[in-house]
Amino acid sequence: MSTPPDDRIVHSPHRPLTAYYASESDRRGFVRSIFDSTARHYDRVERLLALGTGPWYRRQALMRAGLAPGMRIVDVGVGTGLVAREAATLAGDPTLVVGVDPSPEMMANADLPEGVRLVEGRAEEMPLPDAEFDMLSMGYALRHIGDLAAAFAEFHRVLKPGGRVCLLEITRPAHFWSRALLKGYMRGVVPALARVVGGGAETARLWRYYWDTIDACASPADVLATLRAAGFTDVRHHIETPALSVFAEFQATKPG
């Protein structure tokens, strides 16, 4: 498979969102701060966004990507453990699962089975050995990475030959009506509900920020091109809800 031209390779996943931080150089501090400050409420509000499909969908996505018993998996952007928890069940042994996240507070609030190892680190620079894992997962954190090209190169490094990537993401709907519905839900309904259930103003702000990153994020085609440029093959984009084009999976394989 040929390497895409350089103009398709994505570094920053979206333009600087100056309503939240002043410049691209300030993004990392903002992202860590807002996740640290909302960690205690994250799971409760996330259930509102997932509409009850969260654990089931994550488990099915990992199975579609090929996660099987006995495989070692690293979950990048582990947060409160929503993907890692399903990975531990499918792998059959929590000690086979490692979670990486830049937010200590999110990891401190993780609900995970004993044996899962948590490591503070960024997607672009993970304190993990080469060729250690059979699979790498990421749940809805691609939009918060500073440099996708650098992160995908790091993903390639930590995977064994034949290792697989499964990136879950909420993508910007292609149709106007579905985009308007999702925007209204994420920028209006979820922040209002977050206040009602005790999340406070900062949690409401997080979910407005979530929508803005979705709306500004690089196209799926450019994400796929960046994965190929990092050395991955069998790169594909799976849409679980074609009518809405919202829940998406990016899958790829490190050549064996």
Q: Please write the tens of the pLDDT for every residue from 5-14.
A: 455 788 889 9
Q: How confident is the model at residue 1 (pLDDT cuts 50, 70, 90)?
A: very low
**What's the pLDDT tens digit per position in 159-173?**
999 999 999 998 887
Mean residue pLDDT across the chain: 89
Percent of the chain whose predicted confidence (pLDDT) is above 70? 92
Range with lowest mean pLDDT among 27-31, 43-47, 114-118, 180-184: 43-47
User: Range with the lowest mean pLDDT among 75-84, 161-170, 174-183, 237-246?
Assistant: 237-246
Under 8 Å CB-to-CB from 14, ≥6 apart: which residues?
143, 213, 216, 217, 218
Alpha helices per DSSP H over the chain:
27-50, 54-65, 82-91, 104-108, 148-158, 176-184, 190-196, 200-216, 220-229
Q: What is the pLDDT of residue 246?
A: 76
* CA 133/CA 122 separation, integer angstroms: 17
Q: How far apart are the C-alpha atoms of 99 and 119, rounded to whole Å?
A: 6
Predicted TM-score (pTM) of this structure? 0.91
Whole-number Å distance between alpha carbons of 198 and 57? 26
pLDDT digits (tens, 9 = 90+) for 96-111: 999 999 999 999 999 9
Are residues 221 and 248 in contact, defined by beta-carbon separation less than 8 angstroms? Answer: no
Candidate ranges 50-64, 84-98, 238-252; pick with highest mean pLDDT: 84-98
Residue 3 pLDDT greater than 50, yes or no: no
Q: Is the pLDDT of residue 230 over 70?
A: yes
Q: Give the pLDDT of residue 231.
A: 97
Beta-carbon contacts of 239 under 8 Å, excluding residues fewer than 6 positions away, are 171, 245, 247, 248
Q: Indicate whether 4 pLDDT > 50.
A: no
pLDDT tops 50 at residue 2: no
Q: pLDDT tens across 182-207, in order? A: 888 888 887 887 777 666 888 888 88
- pLDDT, residue 7, reads 59
Per-residue pLDDT at 241 exceeds 70: no
Reply yes or no on whether the pLDDT at 43 is more than 90: no
